[in-house]
Amino acid sequence: MTPSPRKPSVDPSGLQRPTLALDPQTPSQLPSGSLAGVEKARLTALVDLLEDDAPATWEAVRAELLSAGRRARPALDRAARGQAPRRRARARSILAQMERREVLRRLLSQAGRGIDDLESALYRLAAVDDPHFDARATRRRLDDLGQRVRERSAEREPGLDQAHALVTVLAGEEGLRGPGENYHATDHVHLHRALELGRGLPLTLVAIYIFTARRAGLDATGVPLPGHVMCRLHAGERSMLVDPFHAGVVRTRKECLSYLMRRGLAPRPDWFRDADDAALFQRHVLNLANGHTVRGDDGTARQLRRVAETVARSRSQHPHADPESA
């Protein structure tokens, strides 16, 4: 008996899936090469639907292709290099989303093993928004800044004046400070972009101070005040608190307490202690999650918060023990 034509299958989203006229009673008995051919044809047909005008179709096709993962990449790669503008743009968008998912998966795995090198962790975090990010240029820039700070500090008296050479170079000569607008922009979270723009969130600027100090042979640490991380410069048993967000101005403990009072917060001793790399990275991740929330990318924001929660668990801390904004 000749089999009747197979009806097209429909996924939960309502999108009709392209199918081939196969005998429904024998697909499991087909050679693996034939099954692979069926899947290839289905994915190619889905990529063709990227041309569709209907938003509902585009969203359903996008979800299908993302679900297919690596199996969909060959068809998407061809479309991303093709001549059809809409199909090309949408294919590239899906490929970028796939890459971001892979970056976040690796970040989550790293977070579970623990964070002991903030600089390397921030380079991995940069790949969330730039999967092809290459850290070499940023490392060279920090090496150059460290050398300049080393030279300036050698001209000064040993002690805090020598440590303050860090502020002279980064705030005075480089002009690093906080952004005047678009505070939550992801550019202000990423280390390399803050260096390029000369603007960043408090925590991002503190990270630049710390990494430059390490290269210059100085001792700088992060002080995790809620919403506004500060930088502590050390010289033996003495130290000073500087505010990179406000061009490296020196802050007193009294000023910090006034800041907390204005926010209705009772002082906590841990807010005035030096934070380790894992604690600072957790807050970096939350800052980036906030940036993605502001620009409407809730999916990436949720995945970033999962990374932050994993870092917190690895530190035996409550996931929300640290304030989100830096």
Last residue of a domain, one of 89, 111, 133: 111
Q: Are residues 262 and 171 in the same domain?
A: yes
Is pLDDT above 80 for 315? no
| Inter-residue contact 50 to 87 (CB < 8 Å) | yes
Q: Are residues 156 and 85 in the same domain?
A: no
Last residue of a domain, one of 79, 95, 111: 111
β-pair partners for 10: 16
Is pLDDT above 50 for 311? yes
C-alpha angle 211-167-254 in degrees, rounded to nearest 5: 105
Last residue of a domain, one of 111, 143, 159: 111
Mean pLDDT, residues 130-154: 95
Domain total in the chain: 2
| Cβ atoms within 10 Å, residue 81 | 10
Is pLDDT above 90 for 116? no
Q: Are residues 140 and 99 in the same domain?
A: no
The gap between the terminal CA atoms of the chain, to the nearest Å, is 71
Is pLDDT above 70 for 9? no
**Tell me: the pLDDT tens digits for 262-282?**
999 999 999 999 999 999 999
pLDDT of amino acid 317: 60
Q: Are residues 157 and 196 in the same domain?
A: yes
pLDDT of amino acid 276: 93
Mean pLDDT, residues 133-141: 96
| Residue type for position 44 | T
Q: Are residues 309 and 267 in the same domain?
A: yes
Q: Are residues 240 and 179 in the same domain?
A: yes
Lowest-pLDDT choice from 112-121, 223-232, 246-255: 112-121
* Collapsed DSSP state (helix, strand, coil) of residue 252: coil
Q: Are residues 101 and 168 in the same domain?
A: no
Q: Are residues 133 and 74 in the same domain?
A: no
Per the structure, the complete domain to which residue 56 belongs is given by 29-111
Domain assignment present for residue 54? The answer is yes
Q: Are residues 177 and 132 in the same domain?
A: yes
β-pair partners for 222: 231, 275
